Amino acid sequence: MKVLKIADVPPPTIPAEASVAEALQVMEKEERGACAVLDNICVRDVMSQNLYTVNSKTESADALSLMMAQNIRHLPVVDDEGNLAGLLSMRNLVRHQIEELTDELNSIVAYFSADGSGG
């Protein structure tokens, strides 16, 4: 599945002029561990820099590999022009993986249940 389908869209954002307290309020309200900073003034003192990004067409498994290899919890998702399209979190990926595994398990259970006794 492409990362933009499971990323937070629109991503939680905050202007760079905002205080860290305001950024924390946005993250708490959105129930997220990060938000995209749309400028570079006050918040830049505590924000990540030299970010890794993924394209909106990146597969979730590739994003997960990058996040694991680089110890990243959040990845900006950009479109083909480099514009911010979403914010992918490890939480998004874990939820997606749980949904996929649950669907697979349900399919297996349904298959064996339909077989009847004596198989």
List pLDDT tens digits, range 9-21. 888 999 888 999 9
Domain boundaries, the chain: 3-113
Strand partners, 14: 37
Of the pLDDT bands very low, low, confident and very high (cuts 50, 70, 90), residue 81 is: very high
What is the full DSSP assignment across the chain? -BGGGTSBSSPPEE-TTS-HHHHHHHHHHHT-S--EESSSSSGGGTS--S---EETT-BHHHHHHHHHHHT-SEEEEE-TTS-EEEEEEHHHHHHHHHHHHHHHHHHHHHHHHHT-TT-
**Is the model's pLDDT at 88 over the cut of 90?**
yes
Of the pLDDT bands very low, low, confident and very high (cuts 50, 70, 90), residue 113 is: confident
More confident residue, 30 or 116: 30
Two tokens at 79? 């479109």
Provide the whole-model pTM: 0.62
pLDDT tens track for 31-60: 888 888 887 666 777 778 889 999 999 999
Q: Domain 3-113 belongs to what architecture? A: Roll (3.10)
Two tokens at 98? 């749980």
